[in-house]
Amino acid sequence: MAEYILSHDIGTSSDKAVLVTFEGEVAATCSEPYPTYYPNPAWVEQAPADYWKAVCETSRRIVDENGIEPGDIKGIVFSTQAQGVIPVDRDGKVLYNNITWVDGRAQLQAEHIMKKVGGKKIFTALAGTPIMGKDCIAEITWLKEERPEIYEKTHLILDVNGYLKFKCTGKMVTELSGASSYGLDLKKKTWLSVFPLVGIDMKRLPPLVCSTDIVGGLTPEAASECGLAEGTPVFGGCDDVQSAVVGSGMCRDGDVHIYLGTSAWVCATSKTADKFKHGAAAIQSADKEMNLIAGITESAGANIQWICDQFFRHEKEEYGDDGIFAYMDEVVKDIPAGSDHLICTPWMLGERCPVSSTTTRATLFNVTMVHTREHLMRSVYEGIGYNLRWVLENYKADYGFDCNDFRIIGGGALDKVWMQIIADITGKSFSVVKDPRNAGAVGAAMVALIGLGHIKSFADTREFVKIDRRYDPDPANKAIYDKLFADYKEIYYSLSKAYEKANGQRFESD
């Protein structure tokens, strides 16, 4: 009789439920979308109830549509978007929508917090990094200042993973990697002491657990809603970056992987690196013994989807949701490397890494009469590649990571043309894992398998994960991409003040 882990990948726009065998193979998947709300220009919210509704729906469909007995599922685990702020009362009632990881409402609070403890330098010494309006500590402060009636009713503040574990087990906890998105002492594995210094009550932060811990069993109510067996173990799980590390198999000291999905990130595993530099965050790995250096690009695949929706509508109708991207790839190949010197920066939602800014936005640079929509499309692909190269360059300079022979995961890794563009821009060779779209969910399942003792350690995941394809840079494109990469960085430095002037006041919260 087959045994499975049910892994839920709670992303920016949907829950993907993935049924994973004990050999790491994907047996079945299904997904359920949920909406995002934008009540103000820099505000980005989601309703926690929508997450749970999606989890219940996909869990039932996984079982019903694939002839699985609920008892064959030996564990449930969540891989979730990071940095959510969900205030709940003592009964677990949600008091305010999730303030999501791309929300930038709290820039004013971020600046005031740093002033309160003596300025940016002193705050950085205490917390490890300066903060911005997208960070949880600033958003919790916003909640306290702008919605005091809600803050006063708040028993605990949960992240997305913690909320879903509560719905499953009735227990309110935060897993270590999720806590590091708020503020975790990476050495002591406790909440940072800076919280009370800025006026946040430590009692509102939940108890901490490890990713491989069994938090509890599925309650009768949750089991009924999900169509699963009562008592099924629910694991600590982790945030999406951490599960992606495991899913890439790059869990050893110095290993690097890149994720390409709606957003993107470059992530390096390290025993010792614990500093925040150039927008890269030092966070807790799913492995309690390891840290991660994670540099997040806010918008990646979402930009390509934007190009598709806005400029290729008729072709999308003709080729369908899947065929349109194959068509776009064929078109991109006809445009020369460098898009005839057209550059499109990818900062649609501001940026975290390699630069941290809530006011920066995407810019189309150097448009001439020779440029077509196809040039624009390739420049969007390339702009994300320049951003990734900048992060890799910083990792080498700031941390000493050689960043060679990394792995790429995520849905973007299925795009062979884009992968070659990234290889050419970065000048690096890399591998794409098998079934890269599900790597995060499979990684979370592997966390559960480690918790069950089926996989011996996180280090053993490197051999557990299978490789599908390797890419090497084309030397013929080196010169043009070196030139345009330098131009790309200059665009940011030249326009950073203009972005701030254009958008600073506009994005302040009401």
Q: What is the pLDDT of residues 134-157, one digit of tens each?
A: 899 999 999 999 999 999 999 999
Q: Is residue 3's pLDDT more than 70? A: yes
| β partners of residue 86 | 158
Ramachandran area for residue 345 (φ above 0: left; ψ -120 to 50: alpha; else beta): beta
Measured distance CA(430)–CA(232) in Å, rounded: 38
Domains in the chain: boundaries: 4-236, 251-441+452-510
pLDDT score recorded for residue 510:
42
pLDDT score recorded for residue 347:
94
Q: One fold for both 4-236 and 251-441+452-510?
A: yes
Q: Give the pLDDT mean for 317-327.
A: 92
Let me know: does 4 contact 21? Beta carbons within 8 Å. yes
DSSP secondary structure, 250-289, as one string: --STT-EEEEESSSEEEEEEESS----BTTBEEEE-SSTT
Give per-residue pLDDT as tens, 388-445.
999 999 999 999 998 999 999 999 999 999 999 999 999 999 999 999 999 999 999 9
- Angle, helices 478-503/373-399, rounded to nearest 10 degrees: 90
**Pick among 3.30.420.40, 3.20.20.70, 3.40.50.1100, 3.30.450.20: CATH of 4-236:** 3.30.420.40
Helix and strand numbers (H, E) in the chain are 17, 24
Considering only CA atoms, which of 199, 495, 510 is closest in space to residue 347? 495
CATH number 3.40.50.150 given to 251-441+452-510? no
Q: What is the pTM of this model?
A: 0.85
Q: Count CA atoms within 13 Å of residue 245 on its CB side.
A: 31
Give per-residue pLDDT as tens, 34-53.
999 999 988 999 999 999 99
